Amino acid sequence: MLQGWVIVAASFAYIGLLFAIAYYGDKRAEAGRSVIANPWIYSLSLAVYATAWTFYGSVGRAASDGVGFLPIYLGPTLMIVLWWFVVRKMIRIAKTNRITSLADFIASRYGRSALLGGLVTVIAVIGILPYISLQLKAVSNSFQILLQYPEIVMPQRTGELDVMKDTAFYVALFMAMFTIAFGTRHLDAAERHEGMVAAIAFESLVKLVAFLAVGLFVTFWIYDGVGDIFSRAARQADLRALMAPFGGAAGGYASWVWLMVLSMLAIVFLPRQFQVAVIENVDEKHVKRAMWLFPLYMLAMNVFVLPVAFGGLLLFPLGTVDADTFVLTIPMAHKAEVLTLLVFIGGLSAATGMVIVETIALSTMVCNDLVMPVLLRIKALRLTEQRDISSLLLDIRRAAIIAILMGGYFYYLLAGEAYALVAIGLVSFAAVAQFAPAMLGGLYWKGGTRAGALAGLAGGFLIWMYTLLVPAFARSGWIGSEILSRGPWGIELLRPTELFGLSGLDSTTHAMIWSMLVNVGLYVGVSVLGRQAAAEHAQATLFVDVLRQATEPRAGSRWRGTISASSLQTLLGRFVGPARAAELFSTYARERGFEHAEQLEGDGELVRYVELHLAGAIGGASARAMVATIVEEEPLGIEEVMTILDEASQVIAYSHRLEEQQRELEAAKRGLEAANERLRELDRLKDEFVSTVTHELRTPLTSIRAFSEILHDNADLEAEERQRFLGLVIKESERLTRLINQVLDLAKIESGVADWQSARIDLREIVTEAVGATSAIFRARGVSVETCLPAAVPEVVADRDRVMQVLLNLLSNAAKFSPAGTGRVRVSLGAEGREVRVDVQDNGIGIDAAHQAVIFEKFRQVGDPLTNKPSGTGLGLAICRRIVDHFGGRLWVESEPERGALFSFTLPAADPVEAGLEAAAA
Amino acid sequence: MKKPGPSGARLACVFLLGCLLFSFPLIALFNVQGRVFGVPVLFAYLFAAWGLVIALVALLMERRD
Amino acid sequence: MSARILIAEDEPSIVASLDFLMRRCGFDTRLASDGTSALEQVADFRPDLVILDVMLPGRSGLDVCRAIRERPEWGSIRVLMLTARGGSADITTGLGAGADDYMTKPFATRELVARVRSLLQANPA
């Protein structure tokens, strides 16, 4: 009954069921009641790891080397123990940054590098092609075998290649359409596909049930339990060897360990595993249960591999049936039609599950990280101005899906026949393992740089191509096989499978050792030697510290630019469709308590929101570029620089500021101290002044009072004596009056309330007048006065009376201190540059250097040498100096003891051109 | 603040135990002919060890604390 | 025998008034216009009382007073200090230096005479 049409019909019915499940899943997701939001579905979706390789290939591998298939599942079992740290971190990062794929993740980590995203995409696509070809081979082989039912005939490729008659080609086409229908129906869910996940989980159940059914059938129907199978097998020497295979069929322990390492990396870095484990994850708590449920699934999937393999080996004569087909051919041999069909469906499940998720993940990468960055940079396409390019995005993804599956088909054509299923899959494992250094380093080492990641990935990938891809092509005869035996250009040291003479290892182990050495070496080396750009550093910190951040990093708050909310909505609309954009905006508005999206402001948070949703559609690097086209942001780097400042320099800046403030405070304190000191000095001076003035006032007052009382009490005084006493009273009264006047005068000058007159005056006139006024004093002391006046001097602007006061003071001093009788005083006047200078020279006792400075201070007078008694009030010169200072001149003394003294003062000459104005003003 | 979830140290221990159980030299001890309950020693050992690791993880992850 | 009074004061008009007042009382007077000559006169004239201005040029009145008190043989000499500074601190300093009495300028002549008489009477010699 198993005609071709039955098989095809069953296949389509099954696919139809998957569609129904996916449709239901999507509907539920739209209604907000996710069917996949539970740890069981999450765990089952992870089982997309079990592909046709597992379904058919494990038995094949077991038949050739016993336990050799197990590391592929033991590795993930170990790795998943660490998921609580590694994958949870990835999930957190992916959700925070709306990561759409593995390439997006790596590109984002290293400063949203489009180049890196592209490289990762290329590696992923090329690396995964063998894996896809494996699925095509498995499905087409099983289909061809099934068509021969009940005969068991191994499919043989005919000599000439006729693509149009090749089942695998139609399988590839069929899968492409199927994937397109599944994964690219709509774009709005962006990076997540709930329906697909639901279907994948269902497929995982189907393939498990199918395989367990075969296992039970073989073990308990055909044979009498596992003991029966193994005891029969133990009687055959070649099968006995498989039971303790190390050192024999399974090769060394090194291959075993390397396979385990390889699959540990594959379970994280295979694009489809990253898709289901990280991108499609609903809640990171689901990881918790998956950590034991998924290994348990793998255990169940593998528990009957060995019985089936040994059963098949016992059943079929050696070499007649390919062990990779035992799962199908054993039920066929026993005419178990329903089981056979179930197995076919199970195999189809395993293959389609893998192909769907893998190609969707890859097509997202190709679209977001390879095609879009290029298209957006081609200005001629004017993509940034189109209203809605979401359909373009879908078309790119559809094309990518077809291209990837066709690529897988051509790999199958070129290399598929030469290898067993598992060997083909391992080539892909080795390829995705190249992502490990950049990914794990990026998660835990802030120092990893973009250049390091690029170098490591490129180096590792080139080694992978040379050591795994080239031999595969060589063995299949596509390129000359002499490169394997003699090396390129006859250089044996460079033989792809024994690079630099490293021999004795299987090809995968050999490739892993060299590619990882180069990859890790370049990644670490270039990172350490190079320098991180600001953008990279910001992202590195964001990624490595993601678990430490309590909430979403508010990167948007660092954005400093201006943009209207509506232009952001338009931008988002171009990529996800205007309706979806409007919906997203109103959701956003509602969350922030606005009624309408129109009320939103284009702040940093909204930009971030838009960028995140764009990233969901076109990837992080492109999203950033798109936002940058409309957001007038500061030049690239400011935001990142701010992050770094936030992190480290803020502390430094803060302490700088503190230091600065402290310095300012100290300066202010010093200023205050100085001011305080000055105030205290002023206070002390004032006290001293008051005290001195008091003393100076009391002295004449004492005499006046004493003589007044004497005159009052002694009426009998002689007239002569009375007259003398009255004369003293009058003299002391005059002294008192003078003193009071001068004190008041000085006080007025110092407090700035003095009444200054300003007029153009001729100093010759004033000097002449002053000498005339003091001539009586000079005559009385017998001192001669000589005046020396030039014919003309420039006029000065000053107060006539004040200048007269100065001259009188200087002249009376000169008279006082010149020796009586022999004294000579010379007054001279002259113009000096822009100044007019007056000199008063005497031939008196002179002033020693120590006193020259202080005589101009208040109450500092040099005593009369004869009486050693100060004469005058001690205020005269102080007042003179202030007067001269007021008019912009200088007053000083030059003298030596016993050599006379020269008092001089200058006043600035008036500007001749202002003469008229000055006169008018005066 | 206490972090939710299992202790990192215990998980790391399980990981290291698994590494030890699944690799040389321990598996070399079981790379011999002979059967337990009809199953070849190596096969029985690997599946038992596998089951043990899964059970330990399940214990750690599902325990309420 | 009439009491001997030394007047140590640098302001001539004040000296003149003090000299008149003391002579009027019948005392024998000597004059000194600075600290150094004041001490010379003390040694030479052996006054019963010194009217001593605090602000003397040369050695100050306080100095002169201390110098007098340092000599036991001059222990009987009364010292009346005169100052133009009237603060209580100045009075304390003056008395601390060994003065018997203290008056601020300007003084009442009758009070001055009364104090001089009183100081001279208290003198056991």
Residue A94's domain is classified under what CATH number?
A: 1.20.1730.10
Give the pLDDT score at A180: 85
Residue where a domain stops, chosen among A634, A663, A678: A634
Regarding whether A679 and A626 lie in a shared domain, the answer is no
Does C touch A (3+ CB pairs < 8 Å)?
yes
Domains of chain A: total: 4
Read off the pTM.
Answer: 0.58
Verify cis geometry, omega within 30 degrees of 0, for the bond prior to A870: no
Q: Which two tokens stand for residue A817?
A: 């201190």
- Minimum distance, in Å, between the CA of residue A697 and any CA atom of chain C: 9
pLDDT at C49 over 70: yes
Residue in B with minimal Cα distance to A297 = B54
Query: Which of A599-603, A660-664, A780-784 is predicted least confidently?
Result: A599-603
Q: Tens digits of per-residue pLDDT, A306-353? A: 899 988 888 887 777 888 888 888 888 888 888 888 998 998 888 888
pLDDT at C33 over 50: yes
**Interface mutation vs chain B, best among A61, A261, A262, A292, most B CBs within 10 Å:** A292
Contact between A409 and A133 (Cβ < 8 Å): yes
- Minimum distance, in Å, between the CA of residue A320 and any CA atom of chain B: 26
User: A519 lies in a domain?
Assistant: no
Rounded average pLDDT over A146-168: 69
pLDDT at A649 over 70: no
Does A touch B (3+ CB pairs < 8 Å)?
yes
- In this predicted model, which residue has the larger pLDDT, A391 or A555? A391
**Residues with Cβ within 8 Å of residue A583, at least 6 apart in sequence:** none
pLDDT at A290 over 80: yes
> Number of C-alpha atoms within 13 angstroms, CB side, residue A675?
6
The single-letter code of the amino acid at A531 is R
Judge: A80–B57 Cβ closer than 8 Å, yes or no: yes
| Domain that includes residue A695, residue range | 640-749
Show residues of chain B in contact with A289, CB under 8 Å. 61-62
Q: Which two tokens stand for residue A797?
A: 């602007």
User: A451 lies in a domain?
Assistant: no
Show residues of chain A in contact with C13, CB under 8 Å. 700, 703, 707, 728, 731-732
Q: Tens digits of per-residue pLDDT, A201-228? A: 999 999 999 999 999 999 998 888 888 8
Q: Tens digits of per-residue pLDDT, A907-916? A: 998 876 554 4
Beta bridge partners of A835: A832, A908
The strand order across the sheet containing C49-53 reads C28-32, C4-8, C49-53, C78-83, C101-104
Residue where a domain stops, chosen among A433, A467, A498: A433
- Minimum distance, in Å, between the CA of residue B34 and any CA atom of chain A: 9
Full 3-state SS string of C85-111:
CCCHHHHHHHHHCCCCEEEECCCCHHH
Q: Tens digits of per-residue pLDDT, A477-500? A: 667 667 667 777 777 777 777 777
Query: Which of A215-229, A362-376, A512-526, A570-584 is predicted least confidently?
Result: A570-584
Nearest CA among A448, A611, A607 for reference residue A523? A448
Regarding whether A836 and A705 lie in a shared domain, the answer is no
pLDDT at A698 over 60: yes
Show residues of chain B in contact with A303, CB under 8 Å. 47
Find the CB nearest B43 among A67, A225, A292: A67
pLDDT at C76 over 50: yes
Residue in B with minimal Cα distance to A254 = B24
- In this predicted model, which residue has the larger pLDDT, A541 or A707? A707
CA distance A63 to A241: 11
Residue in A with minimal Cα distance to C18 = A706
CA distance A707 to A709: 5
Give the pLDDT score at A922: 42
Chain A and chain C share a number of CB contacts under 8 A equal to 72
User: A142 lies in a domain?
Assistant: yes
The dihedral built from the CA positions of residue A695, A700, A703 and A705, taken in this order, carries a sign that is: negative
- CATH number, residue A886: 3.30.565.10
Regarding whether A378 and A284 lie in a shared domain, the answer is yes
Residue in C with minimal Cα distance to A712 = C109
Show residues of chain A in contact with C90, CB under 8 Å. none
Contact between A912 and A834 (Cβ < 8 Å): no
H helices present in A446-595, as ranges: 450-464, 470-475, 482-486, 507-529, 534-544, 565-576, 578-591
Regarding whether A267 and A148 lie in a shared domain, the answer is yes
pLDDT band for C117, please (50, 70, 90 cuts).
Answer: very high
Give the pLDDT score at A455: 92
DSSP state of A446: T
Regarding whether A659 and A795 lie in a shared domain, the answer is no
Q: Does A713 touch chain C (CB under 8 A)?
A: yes
User: A391 lies in a domain?
Assistant: yes
Q: Tens digits of per-residue pLDDT, A398-428? A: 899 999 999 888 888 877 666 666 777 788 8
Give the pLDDT score at A629: 63
Nearest CA among A264, A223, A281, A268 for reference residue A37? A281
Residue where a domain stops, chosen among A607, A634, A661: A634
Q: CA–CA distance from A416 to each of A135, A138, A157, A174, A762 (Å)? A: 10, 10, 11, 19, 121
Q: Tens digits of per-residue pLDDT, A768-782? A: 888 888 888 888 888
**Interface mutation vs chain C, best among A702, A708, A733, A868, most C CBs within 10 Å:** A702
Helix (H, G, I), strand (E, B) or coil at A121: helix
Give the pLDDT score at A212: 93
Beta bridge partners of A788: A828
Query: Which of A20-29, A621-630, C116-125 is predicted least confidently?
Result: A621-630
Give the pLDDT score at A653: 53
Q: Does A249 touch chain C (CB under 8 A)?
A: no
CA distance A700 to A737: 10
**Interface mutation vs chain C, best among A690, A709, A711, A864, most C CBs within 10 Å:** A709
Q: Which chains touch A (3 or more CB pairs under 8 A)?
A: B, C
CA distance A481 to A723: 150
Regarding whether A698 and A819 lie in a shared domain, the answer is no
pLDDT over 90 percentage in chain A: 9
Q: Does B26 touch chain A (CB under 8 A)?
A: no
Judge: B23–A66 Cβ closer than 8 Å, yes or no: no
- Minimum distance, in Å, between the CA of residue C73 and any CA atom of chain A: 31
Find the CB nearest B58 among A226, A234, A292: A292
Regarding whether A791 and A687 lie in a shared domain, the answer is no
Judge: A710–C106 Cβ closer than 8 Å, yes or no: no
Phi, psi angles (nearest 5°) of residue C40: -60, -45
Most trustworthy range by pLDDT among A565-579, A815-829, C81-95 = A815-829
**Residues with Cβ within 8 Å of residue A33, at least 6 apart in sequence:** none
**Residues with Cβ within 8 Å of residue A391, at least 6 apart in sequence:** none
Nearest CA among A576, A568, A634 for reference residue A603? A568
Task: Classify residue A366 as exposed, middle or buried by CB count within 10 Å of its CB (0-12, 13-18, 19+).
Answer: buried
Judge: B53–A256 Cβ closer than 8 Å, yes or no: no
Regarding whether A770 and A897 lie in a shared domain, the answer is yes
- CATH number, residue A721: 1.10.287.130
Give the pLDDT score at A872: 59
**What's the alpha-carbon Rg for chain B, to the nearest Å?**
15
Q: Which two tokens stand for residue C118?
A: 């009183």
Judge: A295–B39 Cβ closer than 8 Å, yes or no: no
CA distance A700 to C106: 9
Give the pLDDT score at A288: 86
Q: Tens digits of per-residue pLDDT, A422-454? A: 777 788 888 889 999 998 888 888 888 888 999
Contact between A267 and A35 (Cβ < 8 Å): no
Report strand pairing: A824-832 vs A890-895: unpaired
Show residues of chain B in contact with A67, CB under 8 Å. 42-43, 46
Residue in A with minimal Cα distance to B13 = A81
Show residues of chain A in contact with C85, CB under 8 Å. 691, 694-695
With an 8 Å Cβ cutoff, the interface of chain A facing chain B consists of 66-67, 70-71, 73-74, 77-78, 80-82, 84-85, 225-228, 230-231, 234, 240, 243-247, 253, 256-257, 260, 288-289, 291-292, 295-296, 299, 303, 306
Contact between A360 and A175 (Cβ < 8 Å): no
Nearest CA among A807, A412, A276 for reference residue A404? A412
**Helices and strands, number each (H, E), in chain C:** 5, 5
pLDDT at A190 over 60: no
Find the CB nearest C21 among A699, A710, A868: A710
pLDDT at A644 over 50: no
Show residues of chain A in contact with B8, CB under 8 Å. 84-85
DSSP structure string for A648-681: IIHHHHHHHHHHHHHHHHHHHHHHHHHHHHHHHH
Q: Tens digits of per-residue pLDDT, B30-62? A: 877 877 888 888 888 999 999 999 999 898 888
Judge: C13–A703 Cβ closer than 8 Å, yes or no: yes
Rounded average pLDDT over A755-760: 83
Task: Classify residue A750 as exposed, middle or buried by CB count within 10 Å of its CB (0-12, 13-18, 19+).
Answer: middle
Does B touch C (3+ CB pairs < 8 Å)?
no
Regarding whether A199 and A121 lie in a shared domain, the answer is yes
Find the CB nearest A253 among B18, B28, B41: B28
CA distance A593 to A590: 5
Q: Tens digits of per-residue pLDDT, A451-472? A: 899 999 999 999 998 888 888 7
Query: Which of A33-42, A634-643, A779-788, A913-922 is predicted least confidently?
Result: A634-643
- Summary mean pLDDT of chain A: 80
Give the pLDDT score at A462: 92
User: A444 lies in a domain?
Assistant: no
Q: Tens digits of per-residue pLDDT, B27-37? A: 888 877 877 88
pLDDT at C22 over 90: yes
- Minimum distance, in Å, between the CA of residue A874 and any CA atom of chain C: 15
Regarding whether A774 and A744 lie in a shared domain, the answer is no
CA distance A46 to A204: 9
Nearest CA among A558, A519, A288 for reference residue B58? A288
pLDDT at A531 over 80: no
CA distance A881 to A465: 99
CA distance A230 to A66: 12
Q: Which two tokens stand for residue A537?
A: 């550093």
Query: Which of A612-626, A627-641, A674-688 is predicted least confidently?
Result: A627-641
